[in-house]
Amino acid sequence: MRWIAERVQRHRESLMVLGSFAASLLVGGGIFALYGVHPLEAYGHMLSGALGDTDALVATLSRMVPIALATLSIAVAFNGGMWNIGAEGQLYLGAFAAAWVGLTLPGLPGMMLLPLGLAAGIGAAALWAWIPGILSLKRGLNVVVLTIMLNSLAIYFTSALATGPYAGTRVSSGATDRIPEAMRFMHLSNFSTLNTGIFVALVAVACMALVMLCTVPGYDWRICRLNTRFARYGGVDVVRRQIWAMLLSGAFAGLAGSLLVMGDHYRFRVGISPGYTWTGMILAMMVAYHPLGGMAAAFVYAVMSSGALEMELMTDVPVEVVEIILGTAVLFVTAGFALSNRWANRLRED
Amino acid sequence: MTYLRMERVTKRFGSFVAVKDVSLEIAPGTIHAVVGENGAGKSTLMKCLYGMHAPEKGAFYLADRQLLIRSPRDAMKYGIGMVHQHFMLVPSASVAENVVLGDEPRRGWGFDGSRASREIRELSRKFGLEVEPDMPVHALPVGLQQRVEILKLLYRKASILIFDEPTAVLSPGEVDSLFAILRGFRKEGKTVIFIAHNLEEVLAISDTLSVLRQGELIDTVPRGEVTPKELAQMMVGREIALPVLEEASSGDGKTLLSLNNLSVRDDWGGWAVQDLSLDLQEGEIFGIAGVTGNGQSELEEALWGLRQIEKGSLLLDGEPLQSANPRERRKKGMAYIPEDRLKTGLAPLGDLEDNLLMGYQYAPDFSRRGFLRRGAVRSFAARILQRYGVAAASPRVQSGTLSGGNMQRLVMGRELEQNPKVLMVSQPTRGVDVGGISAIHDHLLRLRSQGRGILLISSSLEEILALSDRVGVMVKGRFVAVLSRREISKERIGALMLQGRGESAEGGTSHAMDR
């Protein structure tokens, strides 16, 4: 008994997330039932549509890459107490910067173009995150407001470039021409845009997770989020830590954008991200900014959204149900944390 | 005459029995204190009466009629109200809006704001609770915020007022005015239940005392029939002697920390500390006495590098320190137990290990090439919890769920394990019970006997008197006097503390009260 209680206490956050997710699946089941579809049948189609064969699995993984990077981008910032709501704009700017390298320096060899494209994408996005970061840390401006405003600026600025000076000549409007072949990440199958960029993403995610979970900066970030004043009192260089959280968050958004250009589409286009970082924000919050939890959540999301197509085909339940399930899960997690805090306060004898 | 009666009340939390079979009788028009250590069940018992907890067994009677209380609203209906230790106010709303919230006066469909402030003004005048109804609550000092809480109860016509450790957040002057208010209630025939663990205060204000220990009622006694010492024994269950410094240091030791003409600004740009100088020697406790709000908070922040030192110099072992950040200060052998544990000393939402690692994470014992050494952190945490007697279910619970005394032990353990040359400690026993106080004082005296220097900032005169080799009395950011142990007495320091108070903000409010 005691052993179980201790385990529950130690893993209470993960248990809460898993429980909330299970509960939201039940709610989803209820919705399926309303459509007159057996919940298990609907979920069955979802699973087979996402993981049923190699092609399905590849499509799911290709969906997962930008979502996973966006989730980590948000997780890094939020976990460090920097509310970076501007990852979407950073992603767009990074994506365009990568495309711009390809369009302006087409003659360079791949050995140089590839790293240059990545560096430009990551660098531009990180810089775009640095601006609100430094303004908030040094000048006390509100980081949420700043980052939201910078979103629109970046998205419309890149749109203007892609429809104006950099508009493609061999493509319908709203996109640039293709980037040179030398800087493309090779597609791994004919049925999806999954490409070798996934390995870059994998390495980046692994490094970041290691830093967040096992190192001193990771600890400092967490404390900055929990209580900035306590961190400063304890001797943490809060400004330096938090500006790095912002830079890395921007870098991951930029990497997601660069890979979309250099791996998936081979060009920049208007609306290149259907709101990946907003989804990433939901996923990151759902797992309380845990990097590995975030990756698991991104995988589950990819499975559900990619499998939803087959589900819709077979059962007439619209794909949007996936969003409902996800939203419910976030709701449950939030409620769960609030409740557990309340119980903790009750038990406290003062 | 019995008025309010509790019969065999029992409340459990899981397997933990917080209140065990307690029966209590309270006479009308009296001030009845419920005392006990942290975790004795005082608050829990009162929360049962107020409908915040549902007791497993037992009943409440008012004038021999059984009460049906399932929520605070029910309790209010019977005229029972409670002022919580942590205020429940809307900071941006005005005093009047806070008071009437939930029972607003209306004009047609709308809220009648002018009637609200008029009624609050009358009510506050009647009970001597001077507070401006149209001020936003966040602009008020703590003492006045508490009055808003009290007004909430009076507005709802409460006749039994429960106060959960009301003095824990107040400065001595504010305590005096609160007591004047409580006596006023008694005169009006209201009944006051006063939860506390500070013996001096309890004996000063209450007519009857009930002592709880580990959830059980030990005894109920009239005030005149018990000495502070007996009371402390009843609370703790054993004899306790608060440690006192026996012999003052010779005063010719090496200087560890020296402040030379230090000036520091407050948040609004005025001077909080002006031209303050002192030399802290090894093996010495230097007490800084003063009514809260005379620049102590700004001074401690400045000494720790959280606030800029505008003028003057600060030397540790003869080396300049004023430009060092907190991390460098730790490295040079300084440690700091801040006044506000929840805001500065802890991350309440982090677990105990997170909280104990702070300040050590850069040391080679705890991290290598940037990677944390989990095992070392875990055994370090276990050692501190054990050595300093922090009562917690596991090192993974959130530190914010600990009781006040245990939080203080946690912060204390973390800072003392650093083995500092100079310790700065502020209000170390605020909100800590008798048993805890003696343990904390023991630790400070032990550190002193090891030749370390301690800067003790406290608004508790007893604490300053018991521990200090020398005392600086701080008024409006300056020392009005620095006394050696031979020269100090309670009366003398008390008189010095009040010098020039008439013009200060603190003094202003309490004088308004005295009239």
Beta-carbon separation of B306 and A227 below 8 A: no
Q: What is the three-class DSSP state of B313?
A: strand
What pLDDT, on the 0 to 100 scale, is given for residue B107? Answer: 86
Q: Are B421 and B315 contained in the same domain?
A: yes
Q: Are B232 and B279 contained in the same domain?
A: no
State the residue range of the domain holding B457: 255-514
User: How does pLDDT run across B37-64, given as a tens digit for each residue?
Assistant: 777 888 889 999 999 888 999 999 998 8
What pLDDT, on the 0 to 100 scale, is given for residue B509? Answer: 36
Output phi, psi for B299, to 5 deg.
Answer: -60, -50
Q: Pick from B331, B358, B366, B371 the residue to mutate for testing the A interface (most A CBs within 10 Å).
A: B358
Assess if residue A329 is contained within a domain: yes
160-219 of B, contacting A, C-beta below 8 A: 164-165
Q: Are B78 and B219 contained in the same domain?
A: yes
- Nearest C-alpha neighbor of B418 from the set A297, A313, A235: A235
- Nearest C-alpha neighbor of B423 from the set B443, B401, B399, B394: B443
Assess if residue B196 is contained within a domain: yes
Instruction: Give chain A's length.
Output: 350
Q: Are B400 and B502 contained in the same domain?
A: yes
Q: Are B132 and B84 contained in the same domain?
A: yes
Assess if residue A7 is contained within a domain: no
- Cβ–Cβ under 8 Å, residues B61 and B68: no
> How many Cα atoms are found within 13 Å in the side-chain-facing hemisphere of A208?
34
Assess if residue B295 is contained within a domain: yes
Q: Give yes or no for B43 touching A (CB within 8 A).
A: yes
Q: Are B75 and B193 contained in the same domain?
A: yes
State the pLDDT confidence band at B2, using cuts at 50, 70 and 90: low
Residues of chain B above pLDDT 90, percent:
48
DSSP designation for B136? B
Average pLDDT over residues B133-162: 89
Q: Give yes or no for B436 touching A (CB within 8 A).
A: no
Assess if residue B55 is contained within a domain: yes
253-292 of B, contacting A, C-beta below 8 A: none
CATH of the domain at A299: 1.10.3470
State the residue range of the domain holding A193: 54-340
- Signed CA dihedral, B345, B350, B352, B356: sign only: negative
Q: What is the three-class DSSP state of B351?
A: strand
Assess if residue A3 is contained within a domain: no
Assess if residue B247 is contained within a domain: no
What pLDDT, on the 0 to 100 scale, is given for residue B404? Answer: 77
Question: Is it the case that residue A36 has pLDDT exceeding 70?
Answer: yes
Cα distance between residue A42 and residue B341, in whole Å: 52
Assess if residue B243 is contained within a domain: no
Burial class from Cβ neighbours inside 10 Å (0-12, 13-18, 19+) for residue B397 reads middle
* Mean pLDDT score across all residues of chain A: 91
**Candidate from B53, B304, B403 with C-beta closest to A350:** B403
Average pLDDT over residues B449-462: 91
Tokens of A5: 């209680």
Q: Are B224 and B267 contained in the same domain?
A: no
Residues of chain B above pLDDT 70, percent:
96
**Candidate from A9, A216, A223 with C-beta closest to B370:** A216
- For chain A, the domain total comes to 1
Beta-carbon separation of B361 and A220 below 8 A: yes
State the pLDDT confidence band at B198, using cuts at 50, 70 and 90: confident
Cα distance between residue A172 and residue A159, in whole Å: 14
- For chain B, the domain total comes to 2
Find, in chain A, the residue whose alpha carbon is nearest to that of B350.
A226
User: How does pLDDT run across A285-329, given as a tens digit for each residue?
Assistant: 888 899 999 999 999 999 998 998 888 888 888 888 888 898 898
What pLDDT, on the 0 to 100 scale, is given for residue A343? Answer: 66
What pLDDT, on the 0 to 100 scale, is given for residue B97? Answer: 92
Q: Quote ipTM for the complex.
A: 0.84
CA distances, A113 to each of A119, A181, B446 (Å):
10, 10, 67
B242 compared with B134, residue with greater pLDDT: B134
Beta-carbon separation of B349 and A215 below 8 A: no
What pLDDT, on the 0 to 100 scale, is given for residue B425? Answer: 96
Assess if residue A21 is contained within a domain: no
Average pLDDT over residues B271-289: 93
Find, in chain A, the residue whose alpha carbon is nearest to that of B372.
A215
CA distances, B368 to each of B334, B353, B365, B374, B379 (Å):
23, 18, 8, 11, 17
Cα distance between residue B108 and residue B106, in whole Å: 6
Assess if residue B244 is contained within a domain: no
- Cβ–Cβ under 8 Å, residues B249 and B469: yes
CATH of the domain at B267: 3.40.50.300
Beta-carbon separation of A227 and B348 below 8 A: yes
Q: Are B267 and B383 contained in the same domain?
A: yes
User: How does pLDDT run across A252-297, given as a tens digit for each residue?
Assistant: 999 999 999 999 999 999 999 999 999 999 899 888 899 999 999 9
Across B141-215, the runs of DSSP E, i.e. the strands, are 160-164, 191-196, 208-213
Assess if residue B274 is contained within a domain: yes
Q: Are B230 and B301 contained in the same domain?
A: no
Question: Is it the case that residue B371 has pLDDT exceeding 90?
Answer: yes
Q: Give A12→chain B minimum CA distance, Å.
A: 10
What pLDDT, on the 0 to 100 scale, is given for residue A254? Answer: 97
User: How does pLDDT run across A12-33, given as a tens digit for each residue?
Assistant: 778 888 888 899 999 999 999 9
- For tokens 């980590």, the residue is A72
* Domain limit, last residue, from B202, B236, B270: B236
Average pLDDT over residues B312-331: 91
Question: Is it the case that residue A91 has pLDDT exceeding 60?
Answer: yes
Q: Are B145 and B267 contained in the same domain?
A: no
- Cβ–Cβ under 8 Å, residues B424 and B303: yes
Find, in chain B, the residue whose alpha carbon is nearest to that of A230.
B344
Find, in chain B, the residue whose alpha carbon is nearest to that of A229.
B344
Q: Are B285 and B355 contained in the same domain?
A: yes
Assess if residue B249 is contained within a domain: no
- Cβ–Cβ under 8 Å, residues B235 and B35: yes
Q: Give yes or no for B377 touching A (CB within 8 A).
A: no
* Domain limit, last residue, from B236, B270, B301: B236
Cα distance between residue A174 and residue A171, in whole Å: 8
Q: Are B312 and B384 contained in the same domain?
A: yes
